[in-house]
Amino acid sequence: MAYRFQFQVIWDNWPLLAEGVWLTIQLSALATLMGLAVGILGALCRTSGNRLLRAIATAYVEAIRNTPFLVQLLFIFFGISSLGPRLGSEQAALLALTVNFGAYAVEIIRAGIQAIDKSQIEAGLSLGFKPLQVFRHIVLKPAIASIYPALTSQMVLLMLLSSIVSQISAEELTFVGNFLRSRTFRDFEIYFAIALIYIGLALSFKLLAHLLHKRLFRFTQYL
């Protein structure tokens, strides 16, 4: 029996899909910003002279990078909630994505910081810059410029990883797709459309990252 394609189901349910896309974008953008903050802080700890800070940051990075994201997600959603504070599905999804992205950002940013020539830091201090000013203007911006492609790739992976949060009923794009499939039984059409949407989102993220790079790092030379 020949399969009859019925893509009308996509057009009939585009408002639901749009809501899923919007939540996917929100989770990805917020987790990226928060994860970058975690990454910068963690990279500072990883390059610190304080052994305790280095040990804490190293333990965090190794724990996250050596466990599946799904386990991290379930631990945050069910494990933390069992201790007292009850997290909603979207809150747990955002926290899990942030923690996961932050661990990878720590190592990427650390590599950028360690690539900065020590003489530039010494020159900044000799000119009277405070340590925070040296880090902000002499270390951080050139470091991020040099590792920007790696960060961009990790951001796109984060957006794709957000599909897993459908397992805790966060109503992002994949969750909406699963819901529509169970209601319409048009598996091929729905997942084909979702795949195309993810491709579009990934390409859009890359384009946005490229435009931001041109605007933020026009006068920053790669090391």
- The domain ranges of the chain are 17-216
Token pair recorded at residue 82: 């069992």
Q: What is the mean pLDDT of residues 90-107?
A: 96
Backbone angles phi, psi at 123, to 5 degrees: -65, -40
Q: Which amino acid is at 2?
A: A
Topology classification of domain 17-216: MetI-like fold (1.10.3720)
CA 45 – CA 22 distance, rounded (Å): 34
CA 41 – CA 109 distance, rounded (Å): 10
**Chain centroid offset of residue 219 CA:** 26
pLDDT tens sequence across 2-22 = 778 888 889 999 999 999 999
CA 70 – CA 164 distance, rounded (Å): 7
Output the pLDDT for position 37.
94
Q: Which residue would you say has higher pLDDT here, 3 or 172?
A: 172
Backbone angles phi, psi at 115, to 5 degrees: -80, -15
* pLDDT value at 53 more than 80: yes
SS3 46: helix
Output the pLDDT for position 1.
57
Output the pLDDT for position 115.
77
User: Quick check: 168 and 74 in contact, CB under 8 A?
Assistant: yes
Q: What is the mean pLDDT of residues 39-57?
A: 91
Output the pLDDT for position 3.
77
* Distance, first Cα to last Cα, the chain: 61
Regarding pTM above 0.75, the answer is yes
User: Quick check: 2 and 178 in contact, CB under 8 A?
Assistant: no
Q: What is the mean pLDDT of residues 64-68?
A: 96
Output the pLDDT for position 69.
96
| CA-based radius of gyration for the chain | 21
